[in-house]
Chain A
Amino acid sequence: MIGAGKIKQYSNVLDKPLSKGKQEVSSSAFAFLFSELVQYNQTQVDNIAELERRLEDAGYAVGARVLELLCHRDKGNRRETRLLGILSFVHSTVWKVLFGKVADSLEKGTEHEDEYMISEKELLVNRFISIPKDMGTFNCGAFVAGIVRGVLDGAGFPAVVTAHFVPMEGQHRPRTTILIKFGEEVLRREARLEHGNFNDLVKAIIATPADVKYTISFLHSAYDLSHE
């Protein structure tokens, strides 16, 4: 047939084999698309905070899908359950796939226990962007913050994620820092996992005959199983 496409057709998108993720488009194609995303959203809002929120929203949709895709393709259907594990997953695996490199740095906040920062000297989405003076602190990195939040949220680590410009000495352009502030429940769970091996405890309970009563004590961040 004349002009038949070379793309194979699948009746269901799930039948289609997952691509290896090696395909690329020109970076200008992405820059054009991203600039339309920003411009469109600008017409939908009255203020900068709202604009950032909408960009973050768009990013969230990307992040949620990236998590699913990468866990399936790169991690054999497993995902990180620990705080540092998921952070390094974002900083290395996710960054590498999306931006072609590992993020410049991952640091823990010095003032707050629940804060972590991923910094990038030249974030892809900020590369071709200069912010007009009247838009103040607006940062297109909100889109990437959204991606990070989407990944974290999907993996069970709800967090507030924001993007900030941080001026650097000796550099013309500020770097972009993605600030991650985890929810309280995340830190509580992490602390619980930290103390005592929760998995062993669960195994012990499962392996126990149902007619024997046990008390389980979490005192001193240890536990022992003893007959009542």
Chain B
Amino acid sequence: MAPVAPRSGDAIFASVEHVNAELFTLTYGAIVRQLLTDLEEVEEVNKQLDQMGYNIGVRLIDEFLAKSNVSRCVDFKETADVIAKIGFKMFLGVGASVTNWDADGTCCSIVLEDNPLVDFVELPDTCQGLYYCNILSGVVRGALEMVSMKTEVTWVRDMLRGDDAFELQVKLLKQVPEEYPYKDDE
């Protein structure tokens, strides 16, 4: 059977069910607020948000692969493109672009065109160290880990901290070789 062509992010987003972005935004805000109350330390909140994102990423990759018809990416460059063009679009309805490649093609930036998490948000003085959107970096890290790529994902620009864009840096640490053959009978 010929491989099915990958679908565009727009097409997938148009075909899935939607919820109002404000409910999403405010719910996320409630989560961050709860974490700040519980954990007190901003650093801990960053970690917990990243962990939550990781948990989501691990599960989200299945839905991503099932709906996008994306097959194996030839290199990390293609992977980054797929995340930016299809991944972000299909779940959050926002586009993103990939820039700032390093020379050996293992590190790049994903710049978001929009960010539904931060509507209504302003960081108070007490939370200046907070990476409010840290859940997104966790999602990317978790999802990539499920397709055998160990990455480090960090925010290099964050508009809530006064920068001019939302920019995620994705650094490929290690490509874990897939184990083969799988032990089917276990």
Q: A residues bordering B, Cβ < 8 Å? A: 1-7, 9, 12-13, 19, 21, 23-30, 32-34, 36-37, 39-41, 44, 54, 57-59, 61-62, 65-66, 69, 97-100, 124
Residue from A26, A40, A57 whose CB has the most chain B CB atoms within 10 Å: A26
Q: B residues bordering A, Cβ < 8 Å? A: 13, 16-24, 26-31, 33-35, 38, 48, 52, 55-56, 59-60, 63, 90-93, 97, 99-100, 109, 111-116, 119-122, 135, 157, 159, 164-167
Which of A9, A25, A66, A98 has a CB less than 8 Å from the CB of B116?
A25
The answer to whether B55 touches A57, judged by C-beta atoms less than 8 angstroms apart, is: no
Q: Which residues from chain A contact B29 at a C-beta distance below 8 Å? A: 61-62, 65
Given contact pairs A4-B164, A7-B115, A26-B93, enumerate 6 new A-B contacts (beta carbons under 8 Å): A3-B99, A21-B21, A24-B93, A25-B91, A62-B27, A65-B26
Instruction: Please name the residue on chain A nearest to B108 by beta carbon.
Output: A3
Nearest Cβ on chain B to A150's Cβ, whole angstroms: 10
Q: How many A-B residue pairs have CB under 8 A?
A: 151
The answer to whether B90 touches A26, judged by C-beta atoms less than 8 angstroms apart, is: yes
Which of A13, A39, A57 has a CB less than 8 Å from the CB of B122?
A13
Q: Which residues from chain B contact A29 at a C-beta distance below 8 Å? A: 19, 24, 91-92
The answer to whether B60 touches A27, judged by C-beta atoms less than 8 angstroms apart, is: no
Residue from A3, A69, A124 whose CB has the most chain B CB atoms within 10 Å: A3
Q: Which residues from chain B contact A28 at a C-beta distance below 8 Å? A: 16-17, 60, 63, 91
